[in-house]
Chain A
Amino acid sequence: MSYLGEFEQLILFSVLHLGDDAYGVAIRESIEERTGRTVSSGAIYTTLGRLEERGLVTARIGEPTPGPGRPRKYYRLEPAGARVLMEAYETMQAMAGGLIPRLTELAQR
């Protein structure tokens, strides 16, 4: 199944942006910074769990961090994930092709 929801796409792009530093807080802040959307940590982990089950991302436990918290869980985009994400992006582009001027005009009314 190659379908990716919008939020899943955001998460995968965010993981890609962050590279080796993709963990919960960083992903949340990256989404908030780039889209202005505030998402809950629960939504991020639940989605990442689902993507991990589908083999689109893998998780690893990092080194212990200073302070009382446990080591962070870092995520990495897998080739399968990259393919699905690319497919989703291309689908979106194909659908939007040539429509942007009309869309802009409609939105500005």
Chain B
Amino acid sequence: MMFLRVLARLLIRGGSASYIRDDLEELFQRDLARGTSRGRALWRCWTNLLGSAAITWRARPRAARDGGFSALDFKLGFRMLVKYPGLTLVGGLAIAFALCIGAGTFELLTQVFQPRLPLPDGDRIVGLRLWHLPSTGVEEQALFDFALWRDELDSVEDLGAFRLVQRNLIAADGAGEPVNAAEISATAFRVAGVPPLLGRPLVDEDERPGAPPVVVIGHDVWRSRLSGDPGVIGRTVRLGNAQAMVVGVMPGGFAFPIAQSLWTPLRVDASTVGRRQGPQIHVFGRLAPGVSLDAAEAELTALGRAVSAEFPDTHEHLRPQILPYAHSVLSMSVGISHDELDLAGLAALLRTTLNLPLVLFLVLVCGNVALLMFARAATRESEIIVRSALGASRRRIILQLFAEALVLGAFAAVIGLAAAGSVVRWGLWTVETQALDGGRLPFWFRGSLSSGTVLYACLLTVLGAAIAGIAPALKVTRGVGVSLRQATAGGGGFRFGGLWTAVIVSQIAVTVPFPLFVWAMRVEAAAIRAVDVGFPESEYLSVRLRMDRETARPISSDTSAAAFAANFTVQLQELERRLEAEPAVTGVTFADRLPRMYHDWKLIEVDEGGAAPLDPRWHAYRISSATVGADYFDVLGVPILAGRGFHSGDLADDDRPVIVNQSFVERVLGGRNPLGRRLRYVPYARDERRTEEDEPWYRIVGVVRDLGMAYGTNDPKVAGFYHPAAGGGSLEGIAPRMVLHVGGDAVSFAPRLRGIAAAVDPALRLDRIMPLDRIVDAELQFYRFWTWLLLLGTAIALLLSLAGIYAVMSFTVAQRTREIGIRVALGADRRRVFAEIFRRPLAQVGFGILAGGGLLAVMLFGGGVTLSLVNVAVLVAYVAIMAAVCMLASVVPTRRALAVEPGTALRSDG
């Protein structure tokens, strides 16, 4: 609303402007009081504002309108774009780049901090939860309270609950694939307000115990797993070991409650569950018509107090809360206390803090474009003075130059916004592939730009155009009156002052650290690619394995986590046995981390048999570790270089055998004999000694070559060791990965693998099936993107510097043509004249490089990074290239001036 207020102040003109602004505010408040959603109220306010702005602008007296822009200004602006293609290209691209980064970041931050649900009246959907004060966390065993809220609350309608689960959907070919699913109340489909594409949604009757098992599937599941069968309604599908009849297909994009593609009824009987008992659930609902969030919160709080008073043993420290739905989901995962933090305030603060540097970046870029615009305006000095003499006011001329910058900005905004859409899609993709390990973001994250972001980009464009257009215009028009009075029109009154020098120097300074970042990215990516694991990775197929707890076939009546883990182990061993019987498979093994994947790092110490010197910044050795099957090295064909490999008895061995890699021997043990030596984990915090004595010792029994636990020779974490695992069971708590040696085209075995897994236990979920050599593809793509982005940034920065220096030099030399001509005619040494002209750009580049070096030193010192010789060489080479390019930009105009005949020089204006 603050934004709209500012916009109203800027756009609405005329005598009634203040009344209109007050009315906009009052109408917005009235809409909210009537129960209109905030989004709808804002939209109404926005359309009213735009309509009012247009009408009041048209209604202004003609004289007042003439003081503003005219269509001719913009027509001239377009002409300038064509007439000066160099400036259009360089300036336009630079502004587009800054706008792309600024708008892309703004959109991502908006989606994170101010999410809007893409559902009808989505901002009236709320999440309810129980906040446990002592643990400052959410109490998810809230079935008792859910039933109470459903019966008692008037301010929230269609209250429902859900549990997130994963289901192995088994298609007709017998192969299973995991699907994000939700056991959910039928009210969810009323709350979301999205009708199904086929069939029906879940209904209340489906929740009744004993009702036939039904499922509603998402569009993607329907297309990919059920071949988009139009007659799917009524068909029975297998979900793990259970079966359910498909009753509906939801349209594409529907993923309520978070990122689900399959929905089954939530069948829980609250009457049989005690307080703070039962399954973990999340509660949602829709605000009743006309009820605000504050009113609902008041009712919920009052109800919560009554429950606390009635059941102090369980509810004394519980506070029910109601939040906008997306906030309730996001804070569910990060545990933000609604009581302690003002979520909206925090979100606004973070958004401002993160957006501000990008606005400053735009200002810097536009400062450079302003330099080019000034040079262009300076070449039009005569035109400006003539217009002034004919009666154009200074304001008129400034507005004309501003309009020209606006046209350039608009051209840049179109390109920048198109690119920003890609940046957003890439950002979300990166989060899903890197942070969520192939998971999906909540459904309200979308790879497109909102109208708010487009508006923000428009404002940035106006700001950029103001800097690029008005600043040079003010400078150009300052001396016009004096020129007119002194009748020296065309006398070269414009000068490039200290401001433009500062712009050029800061531009060069900022670009100095860029190549090191690019270099670092390339080195990292090259290091990942360069890891030689010593076996043909493409012949190995890797797959991540998990199992549905709810639908797993029980092997005993025990429902504990330990029993489930034991069951998982049994199923994995059975899967391993069946796979080994396959003719195409020559080996099967397990590990929690595979070669070249990111490995978690740990801190360890070794026994007193001598070790390499410790990095003084750490109190222990930083190494990587992994847990692998006993036959891991055999299956991968990795030879044991010293000692022995694992065997099945190692798990029961009190010595806890481990196998280290070669880097461990060199970097931790200083090349000493590792066999028989012992190591143990130490806490991360230097002063936390209490658990260290409890950590067990592990004995080194073998050595293998490095298998890509980390990349690059500088990373201490290339040193690492392996724990033995019997199979899937000892990898409890993580999703184990299976590796199959199939030879030839490993991927072609994937369908067979799914089929065998489904036959072992339909509850087994297989995902991320890929050959071992493709396992770092996503990571490499991430580095590639950043490298290109930084390269583009560097190229644009260099181009801007180059264009800036060229423009300044061309202009200065053109102004001094007469002086240079006379000096040459009088016999001045050409080299001396050349050197004198050259001094200024040389000083600018020199200062820029020095300032950039200082900036880089501060950054490196702050990060505790030291430069290698290669880094310094890269830097020096870049600086040399930059200096050479900038000098080249100066040489051309200088040579042009020196080539002028003295007679021509004397006849010139200058």
- Chain A residues proximal to chain B, CB less than 8 Å: 24-25, 28-29, 38-43, 45-46, 48-49, 69-70, 72-73
Q: What is the CA–CA distance of A82 and B50 in the complex, to the nearest angstrom?
A: 32
B19 at the interface (CB under 8 A from A): yes
Q: What is the CA–CA distance of A38 and B27 in the complex, to the nearest angstrom?
A: 12
Q: Is the CB of A28 within 8 A of B27?
A: yes
Shortest distance in angstroms between B161's beta carbon and chain A's nearest beta carbon? 39
When A and B form their complex, which 5 residue pairs have the shortest distance between CB atoms, in order from nearest? A42-B52, A40-B51, A45-B16, A69-B22, A42-B55
Q: Is the CB of B52 within 8 A of A41?
A: yes
Shortest distance in angstroms between A69's beta carbon and chain B's nearest beta carbon? 4
Contacts A41-B24, A41-B27, A42-B12 given; indicate if A24 touches B19 (C-beta within 8 A).
Answer: yes
B48 at the interface (CB under 8 A from A): yes
1/0 contact string of B483-494 vs chain A (CB within 8 Å): 000000000000
Q: Pick the residue among A29, A38, A39, A46 that contacts B16 (CB under 8 A).
A: A46
Q: What is the CA–CA distance of A28 and B48 in the complex, to the nearest angstrom?
A: 11
Q: Is the CB of A42 within 8 A of B22?
A: no
Q: Is the CB of A70 within 8 A of B18?
A: yes
Q: Pick the residue among A25, A42, A72 that contacts B51 (CB under 8 A).
A: A42
Q: Is the CB of A69 within 8 A of B25?
A: yes
Beyond the given pairs A29-B30, A42-B12, A45-B16, 10 more chain A to chain B contacts, judged by CB atoms under 8 angstroms and listed by A's residue number, are A38-B44, A40-B47, A41-B20, A41-B27, A42-B54, A46-B59, A48-B16, A49-B59, A70-B19, A72-B19
Q: Pick the residue among A29, A38, A45 that contacts B19 (CB under 8 A).
A: A45
Q: What is the CA–CA distance of A70 and B21 in the complex, to the nearest angstrom?
A: 10
Contacts A25-B26, A25-B30 given; indicate if A43 touches B51 (C-beta within 8 A).
Answer: yes
Q: Is the CB of A24 within 8 A of B23?
A: yes
B53 at the interface (CB under 8 A from A): yes
Residue numbers in B under 8 Å from A73 (CB-CB): 16, 19
Q: What is the CA–CA distance of A70 and B24 in the complex, to the nearest angstrom?
A: 13
Q: Is the CB of B52 within 8 A of A49?
A: no
Residue numbers in B under 8 Å from A43 (CB-CB): 51-52, 55
CB nearest to A46 among chain B residues: B59
Q: What is the CA–CA distance of A40 and B14 in the complex, to the nearest angstrom?
A: 15
Residue numbers in B under 8 Å from A39 (CB-CB): 51
- Chain B contact residues: helix, strand, loop or mixed: helix
Shortest distance in angstroms between B595's beta carbon and chain A's nearest beta carbon? 64
Residue numbers in A under 8 Å from B24 (CB-CB): 41
B15 at the interface (CB under 8 A from A): yes
Interface residues of B toward A: which range? 20 to 34
Residue numbers in B under 8 Å from A29 (CB-CB): 27, 30
Residue numbers in B under 8 Å from A24 (CB-CB): 19-20, 22-23
Contacts A/B (CB < 8 Å), 22 sampled: A24-B20, A25-B23, A25-B26, A25-B30, A29-B27, A38-B48, A39-B51, A40-B51, A40-B54, A41-B48, A42-B51, A42-B56, A45-B16, A45-B52, A45-B56, A46-B14, A46-B56, A49-B15, A49-B59, A70-B18, A70-B19, A70-B22
Q: Is the CB of B16 within 8 A of A49?
A: yes
Q: Is the CB of B22 within 8 A of A28?
A: no
Q: What is the CA–CA distance of A24 and B17 in the complex, to the nearest angstrom?
A: 12
Q: What is the CA–CA distance of A25 and B27 in the complex, to the nearest angstrom?
A: 7
CB nearest to A27 among chain B residues: B23
1/0 contact string of B1-22 vs chain A (CB within 8 Å): 0000000000010111011101
Residue numbers in B under 8 Å from A38 (CB-CB): 44, 47-48
Shortest distance in angstroms between B399's beta carbon and chain A's nearest beta carbon? 23
CB nearest to B60 among chain A residues: A46
Q: What is the CA–CA distance of A28 and B20 in the complex, to the nearest angstrom?
A: 11
Residue numbers in A under 8 Å from B54 (CB-CB): 40, 42
Shortest distance in angstroms between B40's beta carbon and chain A's nearest beta carbon? 12
Q: What is the CA–CA distance of A38 and B25 in the complex, to the nearest angstrom?
A: 16
Q: What is the CA–CA distance of A44 and B508 in the complex, to the nearest angstrom?
A: 54
Residue numbers in B under 8 Å from A70 (CB-CB): 18-19, 22
Q: What is the CA–CA distance of A49 and B20 in the complex, to the nearest angstrom?
A: 12
Residue numbers in A under 8 Å from B25 (CB-CB): 69
CB nearest to B51 among chain A residues: A40
1/0 contact string of B31-60 vs chain A (CB within 8 Å): 000000000000010011011111110010
CB nearest to A24 among chain B residues: B23
Shortest distance in angstroms between B433's beta carbon and chain A's nearest beta carbon? 45
CB nearest to A61 among chain B residues: B19
Residue numbers in A under 8 Å from B27 (CB-CB): 25, 28-29, 41
Q: What is the CA–CA distance of A29 and B26 in the complex, to the nearest angstrom?
A: 11
Residue numbers in B under 8 Å from A42 (CB-CB): 12, 16, 20, 48, 51-56
Shortest distance in angstroms between A101's beta carbon and chain B's nearest beta carbon? 37
Residue numbers in B under 8 Å from A45 (CB-CB): 14, 16, 19-20, 52, 56
Q: Is the CB of B16 within 8 A of A69?
A: no
Q: What is the CA–CA distance of A67 and B20 in the complex, to the nearest angstrom?
A: 16
Q: What is the CA–CA distance of A72 and B21 in the complex, to the nearest angstrom?
A: 12
Residue numbers in A under 8 Å from B30 (CB-CB): 25, 29
Residue numbers in B under 8 Å from A46 (CB-CB): 14, 16, 55-56, 59
Q: Pick the residue among A40, A48, A69, A72 that contacts B48 (CB under 8 A).
A: A40
Q: What is the CA–CA distance of A42 and B48 in the complex, to the nearest angstrom?
A: 8
- Most-contacted residue by chain A among B19, B47, B56 (CB, 10 A): B19
- Most-contacted residue by chain B among A39, A42, A46, A69 (CB, 10 A): A42
Residue numbers in B under 8 Å from A72 (CB-CB): 19, 22
Q: What is the CA–CA distance of A70 and B19 in the complex, to the nearest angstrom?
A: 8
Residue numbers in B under 8 Å from A48 (CB-CB): 16
CB nearest to A69 among chain B residues: B22
- Most-contacted residue by chain B among A28, A41, A45 (CB, 10 A): A41
